[in-house]
Chain A
Amino acid sequence: MTANKPTFIAVTRFGLGAAPGDFDTIDKPRQWLASQLDPRYVQSAAPQNIPTTMEALQQMRTNNMMMRQSRMMAKATGNAEMEAQLADKIKAKNKEKQQRVVGQDAAMIRAAAVSPAPFFERLVRFWTNHFTVSVTKGQDATLIAPYVQEAIRPHVLGNFHDLLRAATRHPAMEIYLDNQISMGPHSRAGLRQRKGLNENLARETMELHSIGVDGGYTQTDVTEFSEILTGWTVDRDNKGDGSGFFFNPNMHEPGDKTFLGEIYHDNGVHEGEHALQVLAHHPATGKFLATKLVRHFIADDPPPAAVAHLAQAYNAHHGNLTPVYRALINMKEAWEHPLAKLKTPDELFLSLLRAGGLTHKLKDNQIIGPLRMLGQMPFSAPSPAGWSDKSADWMSAQALLQRINIARLAGRLLSTQFNPSYLMENTIGPVASNETRRAVLNAGSVEEAITLLFSSPEFQRR
């Protein structure tokens, strides 16, 4: 085995963890990473059988219509039996939907776990988390997989502006951050319904998605940007351009707006389009994104020099992301301190799937169950800020016990397939401490050895 620390770092810090054999085949780690910055992976490594956004919207429409009709009929006849039937129907529909979503979430995890381009998949996950949508607000979960497929994945290697635009326009985001109900107070719909602004999307687009909380905006900017974004909503009636986005002029606030010192004349959807351009190319955005990338890939407390370097790459390339990733993997800081960060549950579980070749042996519920157990159920981040990227937030007494329990589960599943020493060399070999080696090699059974291996700090960190 030719494994060395750079290979380990490439595979675990930038990839999704080592699969047996990786250390033998990857001899030029930096080149291996660079080769994955290839747009063909947008399609070739994507999960299969994910519905399109339009299909998901169509299904929502059909379901809603059926429900509405049944409800009306039940009400009109006053038939108690019919109402009971309706309740059962709703229950069954919800259950069916939940199972469909579990299937889609599992399909996405499986595709990532077996991807030939794990660095690319890491970037997809990074940006999906950056542009978090979450089921915690009771939003329709069936839109989330199409969101990742259509809004995130195709733009990960492109320009940040396109990514920002696609995410902001997507129904999943419009719903999650309440923009579908935000109305210009002086718009036709606003006047008629006496409703007004919801600032959620405008604020989070600045604070969390682009220029950051220190990006130099005021409350007036938030309000004005909210007005700019009014009318950006979901294509519920199939009247839009086929993307799922619909601009409803009846909801749009008329008149001029002033946003970040610039006057926006009344210009419908183009106001928002321009604002996103401005935000994407704002100098604060480069710094904000660079900080997040460095925190994600290198250290909880991002070294300022590394951040400055990436921000500079972002600005020099006008928001094109691939050159930023190249700068990231060419930085010396990226190849130091191999175990600086704790894996998030998502990263831990993916690395377990890869190490044990378990991806296609587990049922959908067995893919999602462990993530729920570890506190990172897919697409259920507690806030629009997404899942934390700081190690401390993922470590607690119970969290560690659950991590050990997942390792026990893997130990049971794999005890008849693996030699622990082989598995150790092929996953953490280049960084395994004497303590870990002793523990794994002297364990009383293969099951215990694998449990210890997957519980070891070297496997739990990256």
Chain B
Amino acid sequence: MTHNDTPVTRRRLLQGFGALTAGTMFSGIRVAFASAPVDTRFIFVILRGAMDGLNVIPPYGDSNYTEARNGLALKPADYAPLDTFYGAHNNLANFAAMFRAKEAIALQAAATPYRLRSHFDGQNVLESGGLAPHELPTGWLNRALALYGARDAKLGLAVGETIPLSLQGKVEVATWAPDVFGMPSDTMLILLDKMYNKDRLFEQTLKEAVNVHTIADQALGGPDAMKKMGNGGNLQNKVAMQKTAEAVGKILSDPQGPRIATMEINGWDTHFQQGTDKGPLANNLAALDAGFGALKESLGAHWQNTVIFAATEFGRTVRQNGTAGTDHGTASCAFLLGGAVDGGRVVAAWPGLGGNNLYQNRDLAPTTDLRQVAKAVLVEHLHLERAGVEKHVFPASADLRPLEGLIRA
């Protein structure tokens, strides 16, 4: 598409969003209106790094919660109760408000079929929709798009420089990303610092860089000042996430735009100094929540037809490890949000946190298969035939019932 036939709405959006470039923004996201098979919207948010679900949707009603987490459990002041058993971390204020408005669901003790603990393999299963890593070469969302048949329009949008596996496959999809880099996340800086441990030049220079930026932050009036000035690329940054999500909402609102999008947020791999009310996990949640809020706002009237599904590859150990963090685990929580969600409930078959209840004596046991959620969205929200979904999208899942009642009738 050339610049000249860019729809006015998107051109305006571009002008109001200086960080974006025309090249990435407009490449191929135009859809012929008449050919769009559904008027619903779906966003799959991939939470990479294994989110610690127990401190996101804390099962405070489980009498073993505080003891089992040995020092890492959220205190009552750190969460808002969602019901008499589960809460939501304070940094999920938008999510909690949507929950109360009955347009958000939290799922607990959910997992993919993958039972080992490699991030890459876990994400491969989450995104390919297979039973084992590398069993399927394409993504479940792309295979779902294929069920709509051949179209001259791009229904899928990958938010990012590249297409995640979940959207990879035969059907062509669009990509879009804000292209401004900010500082690497704190998590990344810590990892870099450790990696540079034996190389004096790199180690010293990185420290210097961090110092310089800290000073600049202070000079500009607080750590957010720099970020406000264009920390665009890193969705772990709250402002960047907010701006990006705003733009995504607008792109999906365009009648000629795509219908289905993926977003990715890194940094859930909290092996050290995870924190409770504050810390890397809390910061990531704040960014994610800002994204939820911005999507709702910018989708406007389309929010009523929207489902957002956010999931991670696996959870983390119930117990704290030796560096005030958690290691790779099994089940975690997931989110469903949107006007089309029949919300206000936590959906879980709670396995318990007592000694005998843990998976391999360390992890939250999985009782819900994330594919049950995805299948429900595909069938009830995106109006795809269940038989086709079970044949092409999630093969070998025929005996896995889509969860009922997630989507408004």
Q: Contact between B268 and A436 (Cβ–Cβ < 8 Å)?
A: no
| Sample of 10 more A-B contacts, CB < 8 Å, known A395-B201, A404-B192, A451-B184 | A401-B183, A412-B177, A416-B164, A444-B266, A446-B123, A448-B188, A448-B267, A452-B192, A456-B195, A457-B201
On B, residues with C-beta under 8 Å from A are 23, 48-50, 119-120, 123, 160-165, 168, 177, 181, 183-184, 187-188, 191-192, 194-199, 201-202, 205-206, 208-209, 211-212, 233, 264, 266-269, 271
- CB contact list, A183-238 vs B, under 8 A: none
Question: Which residues of chain A are near B160, meaning CB under 8 Å?
Answer: 412
* Count of chain A to chain B residue pairs whose CB atoms are closer than 8 Å in the complex: 111
Report the separation of the CA atoms of residues A303 and B161 in the bound assembly, to the nearest whole angstrom: 44
Q: Contact between A400 and B266 (Cβ–Cβ < 8 Å)?
A: no
On A, residues with C-beta under 8 Å from B are 342, 363, 365, 391, 395-401, 404-405, 408-409, 412-416, 419-420, 433, 435-436, 438-439, 442-449, 451-452, 455-457, 460
- Contact residue among A397, A404, A409, A435 (Cβ-Cβ distance under 8 Å from B194): A435
Question: Which residues of chain B are near A435, meaning CB under 8 Å?
Answer: 194-198
Q: Contact between A416 and B269 (Cβ–Cβ < 8 Å)?
A: no
- Contact residue among B23, B119, B211 (Cβ-Cβ distance under 8 Å from A443): B119
Q: Contact between B119 and A444 (Cβ–Cβ < 8 Å)?
A: yes
Q: Given contacts A443-B269, A444-B119, is CB(A397)–CB(B209) below 8 Å?
A: yes
Question: Which residues of chain B are near A442, meaning CB under 8 Å?
Answer: 271
Interface centre among A400, A420, A449 (most CB of B within 10 A): A400
Question: Which residues of chain B are near A397, meaning CB under 8 Å?
Answer: 205-206, 208-209, 211-212
Q: Contact between B123 and A445 (Cβ–Cβ < 8 Å)?
A: yes
Report the separation of the CA atoms of residues A8 and B194 in the bound assembly, to the nearest whole angstrom: 24
Q: Given contacts A412-B160, A444-B267, is CB(A400)–CB(B206) below 8 Å?
A: yes
Chain A contact residues: helix, strand, loop or mixed: helix
Interface centre among B23, B50, B187, B194 (most CB of A within 10 A): B194
Q: Given contacts A408-B181, A444-B266, A455-B192, is CB(A416)–CB(B162) below 8 Å?
A: yes
Question: Which residues of chain B are near A445, meaning CB under 8 Å?
Answer: 48-49, 119-120, 123, 266, 269
Question: Which residues of chain B are near A404, meaning CB under 8 Å?
Answer: 184, 192
Q: Given contacts A397-B212, A446-B120, A447-B48, is CB(A409)–CB(B195) below 8 Å?
A: no
Report the separation of the CA atoms of residues A401 and B202 in the bound assembly, to the nearest whole angstrom: 11
Interface centre among A412, A416, A436 (most CB of B within 10 A): A416
| A177 nearest CB across to chain B (Å) | 35
- Contact residue among A409, A415, A433, A452 (Cβ-Cβ distance under 8 Å from B198): A433
CB-nearest residue of chain B to A400? B205
Q: Contact between B162 and A415 (Cβ–Cβ < 8 Å)?
A: yes
Q: Contact between A447 and B197 (Cβ–Cβ < 8 Å)?
A: no
Question: Which residues of chain B are near A455, meaning CB under 8 Å?
Answer: 192, 195
| A403 nearest CB across to chain B (Å) | 10
Report the separation of the CA atoms of residues A399 and B202 in the bound assembly, to the nearest whole angstrom: 11
| B114 nearest CB across to chain A (Å) | 15
Question: Which residues of chain B are near A438, meaning CB under 8 Å?
Answer: 194-195
Q: Contact between A444 and B269 (Cβ–Cβ < 8 Å)?
A: yes
Report the separation of the CA atoms of residues A363 and B21 in the bound assembly, to the nearest whole angstrom: 13
Q: Contact between A416 and B198 (Cβ–Cβ < 8 Å)?
A: no
Question: Which residues of chain A are near B187, meaning CB under 8 Å?
Answer: 444
Report the separation of the CA atoms of residues A449 and B191 in the bound assembly, to the nearest whole angstrom: 10
Q: Given contacts A412-B160, A412-B162, A447-B48, is CB(A457)–CB(B188) below 8 Å?
A: no
Q: Contact between A457 and B199 (Cβ–Cβ < 8 Å)?
A: yes
Question: Which residues of chain A are near B199, meaning CB under 8 Å?
Answer: 457
| A157 nearest CB across to chain B (Å) | 35
| B271 nearest CB across to chain A (Å) | 8
Report the separation of the CA atoms of residues A433 and B199 in the bound assembly, to the nearest whole angstrom: 10
Report the separation of the CA atoms of residues A415 and B168 in the bound assembly, to the nearest whole angstrom: 12
| B136 nearest CB across to chain A (Å) | 14
| B120 nearest CB across to chain A (Å) | 6
| B305 nearest CB across to chain A (Å) | 29
Question: Which residues of chain A are near B205, meaning CB under 8 Å?
Answer: 395-397, 399-400
Task: Please name 5 pairs of A and B residues whose Cβ atoms are closer than 8 Å in the assembled complex, sorted by A.
Answer: A412-B162, A413-B162, A445-B120, A446-B120, A452-B191
Report the separation of the CA atoms of residues A243 and B201 in the bound assembly, to the nearest whole angstrom: 47
CB-nearest residue of chain B to A415? B162
CB-nearest residue of chain A to B27? A363
Q: Contact between B192 and A408 (Cβ–Cβ < 8 Å)?
A: no
Report the separation of the CA atoms of residues A376 and B363 in the bound assembly, to the nearest whole angstrom: 49
Q: Contact between A436 and B212 (Cβ–Cβ < 8 Å)?
A: no
| B178 nearest CB across to chain A (Å) | 12
Report the separation of the CA atoms of residues A409 and B24 in the bound assembly, to the nearest whole angstrom: 14
Report the separation of the CA atoms of residues A449 and B121 in the bound assembly, to the nearest whole angstrom: 13
CB-nearest residue of chain A to B270? A444
| B199 nearest CB across to chain A (Å) | 4
CB-nearest residue of chain A to B49? A444
Q: Contact between B195 and A452 (Cβ–Cβ < 8 Å)?
A: yes
Report the separation of the CA atoms of residues A447 and B187 in the bound assembly, to the nearest whole angstrom: 13
- Contact residue among B188, B191, B202 (Cβ-Cβ distance under 8 Å from A400): B202
Report the separation of the CA atoms of residues A403 and B279 in the bound assembly, to the nearest whole angstrom: 27
Q: Contact between B191 and A443 (Cβ–Cβ < 8 Å)?
A: yes
Question: Which residues of chain A are near B191, meaning CB under 8 Å?
Answer: 439, 443, 448, 452
Report the separation of the CA atoms of residues A404 and B202 in the bound assembly, to the nearest whole angstrom: 11
Report the separation of the CA atoms of residues A460 and B198 in the bound assembly, to the nearest whole angstrom: 14
Interface centre among A391, A397, A405, A438 (most CB of B within 10 A): A397
| B234 nearest CB across to chain A (Å) | 8
- Contact residue among B120, B161, B188 (Cβ-Cβ distance under 8 Å from A419): B120
Report the separation of the CA atoms of residues A141 and B205 in the bound assembly, to the nearest whole angstrom: 35
CB-nearest residue of chain B to A339? B199
Report the separation of the CA atoms of residues A379 and B192 in the bound assembly, to the nearest whole angstrom: 32
| A158 nearest CB across to chain B (Å) | 38
Report the separation of the CA atoms of residues A459 and B205 in the bound assembly, to the nearest whole angstrom: 16
Report the separation of the CA atoms of residues A460 and B203 in the bound assembly, to the nearest whole angstrom: 13
| B196 nearest CB across to chain A (Å) | 7
Question: Which residues of chain A are near B196, meaning CB under 8 Å?
Answer: 435, 457
Q: Contact between A444 and B192 (Cβ–Cβ < 8 Å)?
A: no
Report the separation of the CA atoms of residues A401 and B162 in the bound assembly, to the nearest whole angstrom: 22
| B156 nearest CB across to chain A (Å) | 14
Report the separation of the CA atoms of residues A46 and B271 in the bound assembly, to the nearest whole angstrom: 49
| B311 nearest CB across to chain A (Å) | 14
Report the separation of the CA atoms of residues A228 and B58 in the bound assembly, to the nearest whole angstrom: 85
Report the separation of the CA atoms of residues A433 and B168 in the bound assembly, to the nearest whole angstrom: 34
Question: Which residues of chain A are near B120, meaning CB under 8 Å?
Answer: 419-420, 445-446, 449
| A446 nearest CB across to chain B (Å) | 6
Question: Which residues of chain A are near B163, meaning CB under 8 Å?
Answer: 416
Q: Contact between A444 and B50 (Cβ–Cβ < 8 Å)?
A: yes
Interface centre among B120, B168, B269 (most CB of A within 10 A): B120
Report the separation of the CA atoms of residues A342 and B209 in the bound assembly, to the nearest whole angstrom: 18
Q: Given contacts A448-B188, A452-B192, is CB(A460)–CB(B162) below 8 Å?
A: no
| A441 nearest CB across to chain B (Å) | 9
Q: Contact between A400 and B209 (Cβ–Cβ < 8 Å)?
A: yes
For the complex of A and B, the 7 pairs showing the least CB-CB separation, nearest first, are A444-B269, A444-B49, A397-B209, A445-B48, A439-B195, A457-B199, A412-B161
